[in-house]
A and B are shown apart, each in its own frame.
Chain A
Amino acid sequence: MNALLHGRLTGLLALGAVIAILPAFLPNNFYLDIAILAGFNAVVCVGLNLLIGYAGQISLGHAGFFGIGAYASGVLVGTYGWPPVLALLAGAAFVGLMAFLVAKPILRLKGHYLAMATLGIGIIVSIVLRTESGLTGGPDGMMVEPFRIFGVELYGEKVWYWVVGVLLLGVVWLSLNLIDSPMGRALRAVHGSEVAAEVVGVDTARFKVLVFVLSAVFASVAGSLFAHYAGLITPAKADFFKSIELVTMVVFGGMASTFGAVVGAVVLTLLPQALTVFQDYQQIVLGGILMATMVFMPKGLLPTLAALIPARRRA
Chain B
Amino acid sequence: MEGSQREGDADGNIRTSIVVAAAKNLLSKLFRLKHYVMQIVPPRRDRAAARSGDKAGSPREDIMRKRLFATIAFTALTAMTAVSGLLSGAAQAADPIKVGAIVSATGPASFLGDPEKKVLELYADRINKAGGVDGRQVQLTVYDDGGAADKAASFTKRLIESDGVDVIVGGTTTAATMAAVPLVERAGVPFISLAGAVVIVEPVKKWVFKTPHTDRMAAEKVMEDMKKRGLTKLALLSEDSGFGKSGREQTVAVAKERGIELVADETYGAKDTDVTAQLTKIKNNAAAQAVLVFGLGQGPAVVTKNYRQLGISLPIYQSHGVASKEFIRLAGGAAEGVRLPAAGLVVAAQLPDSDPQKKVVTEFTKVYEDSFNTEVSTFAGHAYDGLMIALDAVKRAGGTDKAKLRDAIEQTKGYVGTGGTVTMSAKDHMGLTLDAFHMVEVKQGDWALVK
Interface size bucket, B side? Answer: 20 to 34
Instruction: Please give, as numbers and ranges, the residues of chain B lying within 8 Å of A33 by CB-CB distance.
Output: 154, 157-158, 161
Contacts beyond the supplied A140-B241, A141-B179, A234-B148: 7 A-B pairs with Cβ under 8 Å: A31-B162, A138-B241, A139-B240, A140-B149, A231-B153, A232-B179, A233-B150
The 8 closest A-B CB pairs, nearest first, are A30-B162, A140-B175, A29-B161, A30-B161, A140-B242, A234-B150, A138-B240, A30-B158
Q: Return 25 A-B CB contacts under 8 Å, by A number.
A: A28-B161, A28-B162, A29-B161, A30-B158, A30-B161, A30-B162, A33-B158, A138-B241, A140-B149, A140-B175, A140-B178, A140-B242, A141-B150, A141-B175, A141-B179, A143-B182, A157-B161, A230-B153, A232-B149, A232-B153, A234-B148, A234-B150, A236-B148, A236-B150, A237-B150
- How many residue pairs at the A-B interface have CB separations less than 8 Å? 58
B42 at the A/B interface (Cβ < 8 Å)?
no
Q: With A and B bound together, what is the CA distance between A138 and B244 in angstroms?
A: 11
Q: With A and B bound together, what is the CA distance between A230 and B179 in angstroms?
A: 10
Chain A window 224-251, contacts with chain B (Cβ cutoff 8 Å), 1 for yes, 0 for no: 0000001111101100000000000000
Chain B window 172-193, contacts with chain A (Cβ cutoff 8 Å), 1 for yes, 0 for no: 0011001100110000000000
Chain A window 139-152, contacts with chain B (Cβ cutoff 8 Å), 1 for yes, 0 for no: 11101000000000
Q: Whole-angstrom distance from the CB of B367 to the nearest CB of chain A? A: 25
B245 at the A/B interface (Cβ < 8 Å)?
yes
Please determine whether B150 and A30 come into contact, CB atoms closer than 8 angstroms. Answer: no
B332 at the A/B interface (Cβ < 8 Å)?
no
Instruction: Please give, as numbers and ranges, the residues of chain A lying within 8 Å of B161 by CB-CB distance.
Output: 28-30, 33, 157
Main secondary structure of the interface of B (DSSP, over half): helix
B270 at the A/B interface (Cβ < 8 Å)?
yes
A10 at the A/B interface (Cβ < 8 Å)?
no
Q: With A and B bound together, what is the CA distance between A133 and B175 in angstroms?
A: 13
Contact partner, A231, options B158, B182, B241, B245, Cβ 8 Å: B182
Q: Whole-angstrom distance from the CB of B203 to the nearest CB of chain A? A: 15
Q: With A and B bound together, what is the CA distance between A157 and B242 in angstroms?
A: 27
Chain A window 11-47, contacts with chain B (Cβ cutoff 8 Å), 1 for yes, 0 for no: 0000000000000000011110100000000000000
Q: Whole-angstrom distance from the CB of B415 to the nearest CB of chain A? A: 30
Instruction: Please give, as numbers and ranges, the residues of chain B lying within 8 Å of A29 by CB-CB distance.
Output: 157, 161-162
Interface size bucket, A side? Answer: 20 to 34
Please determine whether A230 and B150 come into contact, CB atoms closer than 8 angstroms. Answer: yes
B3 at the A/B interface (Cβ < 8 Å)?
no
Q: With A and B bound together, what is the CA distance between A234 and B153 in angstroms?
A: 11
Q: With A and B bound together, what is the CA distance between A30 and B155 in angstroms?
A: 9
Q: Which B residues, 233 to 272, have Cβ-Cβ distances below 8 Å to chain A?
A: 240-242, 245, 269-271
Q: With A and B bound together, what is the CA distance between A31 and B161 in angstroms?
A: 9
Instruction: Please give, as numbers and ranges, the residues of chain A lying within 8 Å of B241 by CB-CB distance.
Output: 138-140
Q: With A and B bound together, what is the CA distance between A33 and B271 in angstroms?
A: 30
Q: With A and B bound together, what is the CA distance between A29 and B159 in angstroms?
A: 11
Q: With A and B bound together, what is the CA distance between A232 and B178 in angstroms?
A: 10
Instruction: Please give, as numbers and ranges, the residues of chain A lying within 8 Å of B240 by CB-CB distance.
Output: 131, 133, 138-139
Please determine whether A133 and B245 come into contact, CB atoms closer than 8 angstroms. Answer: yes
Q: With A and B bound together, what is the CA distance between A29 and B156 in angstroms?
A: 12
Q: Whole-angstrom distance from the CB of A196 to the nearest CB of chain B? A: 46
Q: With A and B bound together, what is the CA distance between A230 and B15 in angstroms?
A: 50
Q: With A and B bound together, what is the CA distance between A2 and B199 in angstroms?
A: 59
Q: With A and B bound together, what is the CA distance between A311 and B161 in angstroms?
A: 44
Q: With A and B bound together, what is the CA distance between A30 and B157 in angstroms?
A: 7
Residue of B nearest to A32 (CB): B161
With A30-B157, A141-B179 as contacts: A234 and B149 at CB distance below 8 Å: yes
Most buried by B among A30, A143, A231: A30
Residue of A nearest to B153 (CB): A232
Q: With A and B bound together, what is the CA distance between A63 and B241 in angstroms?
A: 22
Q: With A and B bound together, what is the CA distance between A231 and B182 in angstroms?
A: 9
Residue of B nearest to A146 (CB): B182
Q: Whole-angstrom distance from the CB of B351 to the nearest CB of chain A? A: 35
Please determine whether A232 and B150 come into contact, CB atoms closer than 8 angstroms. Answer: yes
Please determine whether A141 and B154 come into contact, CB atoms closer than 8 angstroms. Answer: no
Q: With A and B bound together, what is the CA distance between A138 and B240 in angstroms?
A: 7
Instruction: Please give, as numbers and ranges, the residues of chain B lying within 8 Å of A231 by CB-CB distance.
Output: 153, 182-183
Q: With A and B bound together, what is the CA distance between A154 and B337 in angstroms?
A: 54
Q: With A and B bound together, what is the CA distance between A43 and B245 in angstroms?
A: 35
With A29-B161, A133-B245, A234-B148 as contacts: A139 and B153 at CB distance below 8 Å: no
Instruction: Please give, as numbers and ranges, the residues of chain B lying within 8 Å of A131 by CB-CB distance.
Output: 240
Q: With A and B bound together, what is the CA distance between A236 and B153 in angstroms?
A: 13
Q: Whole-angstrom distance from the CB of B153 to the nearest CB of chain A? A: 5
